[in-house]
Structure 1
Amino acid sequence: MARIFDTHTHFNDPKYKELGITTEEIIKEAKLVGVDRFCCVGYDVPSSKQAAKYALKYDEVYGAVGIHPNEAHAINQSDLEEIEVLAHANKIVAIGEIGLDYYYTRDYVEIQKEVLKKQIKIALENNLTVMMHIRDEDGKVDAYNDALEILVKMKVKNVIIHCFTRGYELAKKFVDKGYYISIPGVITFKGAEELQDAVKKLSLNNIVVETDAPYLTPVPNRGKVNTSKEIIYTVNEIAKIKNLNKHDVIDITSRNAKKAFKID
């Protein structure tokens, strides 16, 4: 029987250390509900180094390294060079999370685009998946359209759209290019009808699951710190929406994750 693959989590987030929650504890508890693989994702150089270390330390853990778009304006060439070095580390399966974020400010749009392109180039040169963070102003899709334009222009084939929370028509633009849509615990939230409709209409062959822990804890534990064990609620909600057995959801999304990350 297949086990759940949490395709995007942050063991490297300082919140866990502040709360005294260890990575060993997170992995152990997650295994009890059927999770057996994790991708620990970086968002700047220090967290990417930590992600690479976790991938080496734990058999169940893989790593993604990259610089978050909200950090793009504050980096220099040496930071990108460090990401390029980390891309060669053992069990690094993606460059991420990288992307475009216009939610808080549009002051650095062009800088974000340039840093994104440089990191996509690292992914392409190392045959790694691109783990995309895309966030827009409410009601707008500029960041999504700009990101898709860059991905297509650079001929990127292997992409995960991390933490997707929008509707079907937008998801379909990425699915039509062969990209995977990653579903977080938001799917369980009251008011997530647009995302729930997208999941209902999307083929399970185009979906992977994630926690984005320690953030976005699903119902019924919303408001508490998120860990990988909570992903079972996301799986259950997808199964409910699509009227499928949860084991089928686990089997197919885990297979998709392994294919996306090019692992056995």
Structure 2
Amino acid sequence: MTDSHCHLTACADPDAAASPELRALITVGTDLQDAERALELAERHPNVWVALGHHPNDAHSATPTARRQLAALVTHPKVVGVGETGFDTYWHSSPLGEQRELFFWHAELAAAHAKALVLHVRDESGGETASREAARCLAEAGLAGGILHCFNGHPELLETGLELGWYVSFAGNLTYKNAARLREVAAQVPAERLLVETDSPYLTPQPRRGERNVPHNVRYTAMTLAQVRGVTLEALERLTDDNAARVYGLAAGAPTAT
């Protein structure tokens, strides 16, 4: 099974979290220093790959120097994605204009190196400003081969992403009792665009909620996704493994053990 998005560097024991039972894990570096630590982990673990970028909540710290240094790491053989980038109005830590400018920088970097772009979207409670801005900017960038990380179910964002050939990744919140609408959406996403993730150490799925999340828990989200789509866990695992390998370009290099 593949965890298409996690943060190993934020886990209590990053090396232990890089479970050898998983076919592949994509750990996300959220700034220059975090990306360097993520690459060190990937070099130690054959099933770990890296996406790197400047998180939108820290857009104000993405200086020209930091961007140049981060961009230089994209050619590392273990880097398979750019981001996470995107739009966040939940924390109000960076102005939306700064997030927008940083998104287009990431989109250009991903296009230049033929890497998957990983999109973060989080709205303030009861709002949809971040989701609508993400849909607009995705359409403007016109970039294919991206990932709607921890998808929130927003219909405009989903429509735009699918039109551009993007993949849709579901995290542990899919398993929560109050996520009935998200499960309805997950049942309708085209099979060839589905991914599962943990976003470890965050968004721990049921029945492990209350603990710090780890990549091995991706199975619980996959179980829920299989149930709402009416397929077996084994079939869902094969499907999402294949999808992750395709979008991240892992088909020739990912370990074959499950």
Percent sequence identity over matched residues?
27
Q: How far 1:146 moved relative to its partner?
A: 1.7
Deviations 1:134-175, CA, capped at 9 Å, x for gaps: 111233322222222222222211100111132556423322
* Partner Cα separation in structure 2 for residue 22 and residue 12 of structure 1: 6
The 3 A distance-change label for structure 1 pair 173 and 189 is same
Q: Which of 4, 7, 20 in structure 1 is aligned with 2:4?
A: 7
Aligned partners of 1:52 and 1:65 also within 8 Å: no
Q: Which of 186, 190, 199 in structure 2 is aligned with 1:212?
A: 199
* Partner Cα separation in structure 2 for residue 189 and residue 168 of structure 1: 20
**What letter matches 1:243 in structure 2?**
G
Give the equivalent residue in structure 1 for 2:124: 137
Q: Which of 210, 226, 234 in structure 2 is aligned with 1:247?
A: 234
Deviations 1:89-132, CA, capped at 9 Å, x for gaps: 11200011111111122861111111111121111111111001
**Structure 2 residue 64 is matched with structure 1 residue 44:** no
Q: CA RMSD in A?
A: 1.6
Q: Which of 17, 26, 32 in structure 1 is aligned with 2:17?
A: 26
Aligned residues: 251
**What letter matches 1:242 in structure 2?**
R
| TM-score in terms of structure 1 length | 0.90
Q: Which aligned segments of 4 or more residues in structure 1 are displaced greater than 4 angstroms?
A: 167-170
Give the equivalent residue in structure 2 for 1:187: 174
Give the equivalent residue in structure 1 for 2:256: none
**Structure 2 residue 217 is matched with structure 1 residue 230:** yes
**What letter matches 1:59 in structure 2?**
P
* Partner Cα separation in structure 1 for residue 18 and residue 173 of structure 2: 22
Aligned partners of 1:7 and 1:38 also within 8 Å: yes
Structure 1: gaps spanning 5 or more residues: none
Classify the secondary structure of the residue corresponding to 1:50: helix
Structure 2: gaps spanning 5 or more residues: 252-258
